[in-house]
Amino acid sequence: MKKIIILFILIPFLGFSQIKDKLDYISPYNEGFSAVKKGNQWAFINLKGNIVIDFRDNLVLTETNNKKYPVFINERCLISEKKDGISYFGYIDTSGTTIIEPQFLNATNFDEEFAIAIELYKEILGKNNILDKQTVRYESTEVIINKSGIIIRKLTEPKGLALSRNYINKPPKISSKIIAENLFSALGKDNKIIIKKIKE
């Protein structure tokens, strides 16, 4: 019986820890979480001041009221990962689990159930036998994704790009916007703004 009582007492403290170190920044709470900074890393604490997502260096900062810090919006927080010098973006949930692997060249925070991301497409054109390498072409397009990372709709026409750190030294700009619950705006072929439904 004593073992059971001790177990019940310990369960609330497992996986959580109080912050004992001095911090460089504490953000306002959003959705019950505050981002805290120590050095170059960020963590999330809950309303009790317990660390619920430990310090890490892959959280993406969002500018809010002239301050930049990671934030949960609709239970998703942006993360980034560099591959061959190029940043790719994905999302974690409020437990710190990666829900959408870093795969987009840029991405926005969620607006209700949707976010806008730049999807990368790779087309294999053939093989260079002399160099023993595949000949590939890369294209990108802006897309709307749901909270699971499933593409709901393509927003812009595909455009070619050179997938190299020399050409993509910062994330490409996203021009599309979610403007209402079921509406988005995007740039058409003639650079004029068009408005369409997210779901027809």
Report pLDDT digits (tens) over 79-128. 999 999 999 999 999 999 999 999 999 999 999 899 999 999 987 777 77
Q: Is the pLDDT of residue 13 over 50?
A: no
Q: Which domain holds residue 200?
A: 105-200
34 inside domain? yes
Q: Look at residue 5 and tell me if it is in a domain.
A: no
**Are 138 and 179 part of one and the same domain?**
yes
Number of domains in the chain: 2
Residues 64 and 150 in one domain: no
* Residue spans of alpha helices (H) in the chain: 2-10
The reported pLDDT for the residue numbered 190 is: 81
Asked if the structure places residue 82 within a domain, the reply is no
The set of residues, in sequence order, having a beta carbon less than 8 Å from that of 154 and lying 6+ positions away, is 119, 141, 142, 143
Task: Give the separation between CA 23 and CA 88, rounded to whole angstroms.
Answer: 28
pTM confidence score: 0.84
Residue 11 has pLDDT above 50, yes or no: no
In a domain, residue 53? The reply is: yes
- Does the pLDDT at position 66 exceed 70? yes
Does 114 lie in the same domain as 60?
no
* Predicted confidence band of residue 173 (pLDDT cuts 50, 70, 90): very high
Q: Is residue 27 part of a domain?
A: yes
State yes or no: pLDDT of 7 exceeds 80: no
Q: Is residue 100 part of a domain?
A: no
- Torsion angle, CA of 106/144/159/188, rounded to 10 degrees? -120
Burial class (CB in 10 A: 0-12, 13-18, 19+), 93: middle
Please check whether residues 112 and 46 belong to one and the same domain. no
Residues 53 and 75: their CA atoms lie apart, in Å, by: 13
Domain end point (choices 30, 54, 72): 72
139 — pLDDT class (breaks 50, 70, 90): very high
Report if residue 26 sits inside a domain.
Answer: yes
Which of 53-62, 121-130, 174-183 is most confident?
53-62
The predicted pLDDT at position 9 comes to 42
pLDDT at residue 89 in the model = 98
Are 146 and 198 contained in the same domain? yes
